[in-house]
């Protein structure tokens, strides 16, 4: 079609990477509210955790695909589907982190001293929780890049002519018989960005919190 593959590849960073980061950030924001509410308010804990268990009974990829299929393709619907698909997992993780930190001596002392809950959350809990949230975000962005690219490749995510790496792969497969090299740039871009975020997350985990480990089953 006479398009510059390099220009589309570079322009696609805004769509693939920034959309992935937006989904993870918004999902974590919702999960912080729900996870901390479940950890500190017994009345909310049962409802929030049972809802998370119901959502986690389905694989995240399947739920992502099902929600986009119901809402229809497009950037906004993909954003909504990604937030819904990841919020339950993030809520469960933050809930577990908060329960562990809640039993630390300095937090028990603050509660015994009748410190207001908003001060405990802002001055004590958030400082310890923020590192874990950052680590969780860096390790999930790679998964989200893969999921968005897969949806776009199937025609359910970002739609052409918007440059996006999954869309570029889908278009390249039509020319695979006579120009297979066209698939390499978007494929390598996806591979490198996923590896970069995975290595970044592992490095941050080792340097900043070497004793930290995620529960088994984290993807």
Return the closest-CA partner of residue 82 out of 51, 114, 106, 60: 60
**What would the pLDDT profile of 91-134 be if each residue is shown by its tens digit?**
998 888 888 877 777 777 776 777 776 677 766 777 778 778 88
Tens place of pLDDT per residue across the chain (219 aa): 677 888 888 888 888 888 889 999 999 999 988 988 888 787 888 888 888 888 888 887 788 888 888 888 888 888 888 898 888 889 998 888 888 877 777 777 776 777 776 677 766 777 778 778 888 888 888 888 888 888 888 888 777 778 888 888 888 887 777 878 888 888 898 999 989 888 887 787 777 655 554 444 444
Question: In CATH, what number is assigned to the domain containing residue 113?
Answer: 1.10.3720.10
| Token pair of 154 as six digits | 């199937």
- Rounded to whole angstroms, how far apart are CA atoms 155 and 74? 9
Q: Is residue 98 part of a domain?
A: yes
The pLDDT assigned to 176 comes to 78
| Token pair of 191 as six digits | 């591979």
Q: Is the dihedral of CA 61, 163, 184, 10 positive or negative?
A: negative
Residue at token pair 């950052």: 134
Give the largest CA-CA distance in the chain.
73
Q: Is residue 216 part of a domain?
A: no
- Rounded to whole angstroms, how far apart are CA atoms 117 and 125? 10
Centroid of chain to Cα 80: 12
Q: Is residue 151 part of a domain?
A: yes
| Token pair of 183 as six digits | 């698939």
* H-helix or E-strand spanning residue 162: none
Q: Is residue 165 part of a domain?
A: yes
User: Buried b vs exposed e over 135-146: b needs ≥16 C-beta within 10 Å?
Assistant: bbbbbbbbbbbb
Question: Quick check: pTM over 0.85?
Answer: no
Q: Is residue 58 part of a domain?
A: yes
Q: 3-state class of 74 per DSSP? A: coil
The pLDDT assigned to 211 comes to 56
Q: Is residue 213 part of a domain?
A: no
Radius of gyration for the alpha carbons in the chain, expressed in angstroms and rounded: 20
The pLDDT assigned to 27 comes to 92
Count: domains in the chain? 1
The pLDDT assigned to 199 comes to 86
Dihedral over alpha carbons 43, 46, 49, 53 (to 10 degrees): -160
Q: Which domain holds residue 172?
A: 5-208
Q: Is residue 20 part of a domain?
A: yes
Q: Is residue 215 part of a domain?
A: no
Omega of the bond leading into 161 within 30 degrees of 0 (cis): yes
């Amino acid at each position: 079609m006479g398009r510059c593959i390099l220009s589309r590849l570079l322009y696609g960073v805004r769509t693939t990477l920034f959309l992935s980061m937006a989904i993870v950030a918004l999902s974590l924001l919702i999960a912080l509210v729900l996870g901390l509410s479940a950890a500190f308010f017994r009345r909310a804990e049962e409802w929030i955790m049972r809802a998370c268990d119901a959502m986690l009974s389905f694989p995240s990829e399947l739920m992502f695909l099902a929600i986009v299929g119901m809402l229809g393709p497009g950037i906004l619907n993909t954003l909504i589907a990604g937030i819904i698909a990841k919020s339950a997992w993030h809520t469960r993780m933050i809930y577990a982190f908060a329960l562990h930190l809640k039993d630390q001596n300095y937090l028990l002392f603050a509660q015994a001293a009748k410190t207001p809950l908003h001060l405990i959350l802002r001055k004590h809990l958030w400082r310890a929780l923020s590192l874990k949230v950052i680590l969780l975000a860096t390790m999930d962005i790679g998964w989200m890049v893969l999921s968005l690219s897969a949806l776009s490749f199937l025609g359910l995510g970002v739609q052409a002519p918007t440059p996006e790496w999954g869309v570029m792969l889908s278009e390249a497969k039509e020319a695979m018989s006579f120009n297979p090299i066209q698939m390499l740039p978007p494929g390598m871009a996806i591979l490198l960005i996923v590896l970069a975020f995975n290595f970044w997350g592992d490095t941050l985990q080792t340097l900043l919190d070497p004793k930290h480990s995620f529960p088994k089953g984290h993807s």
